Amino acid sequence: MKIIVAVKRVIDYAVKIRVKPDKTGVETANVKMSMNPFCEIALEEALRIRESGLASEVIAVTIGPSQSVDTLRTGLAMGADRGIHVDAAIGLNPLTIAKILKALVHIENPGLLILGKQAIDDDCNQTGQMVAGLLNWPQGTFASKVILDKEKQVATVEREVDGGLETLCLDLPAVITTDLRLNQPRYATLPNIMKAKSKVIKKYTPEELKVQIKSDLEVVQVTEPPKRKTGVIVSSVDELIDKLKNEACVI
Burial class (CB in 10 A: 0-12, 13-18, 19+), 218: exposed
Domains assigned to the chain:
2-223 (3.40.50.620)
201 and 60 Cβ atoms separated by less than 8 Å: no
- Quick one: which of 68, 69, 114 has its CA closest to 90? 68
**pLDDT tens digits along 51-96:** 999 999 999 999 988 888 999 999 999 999 999 999 987 778 889 9
Residue type, 7: V
Helix (H, G, I), strand (E, B) or coil at 98: helix
**pLDDT tens digits along 188-232:** 888 888 888 888 899 999 999 998 887 777 788 888 888 887 878
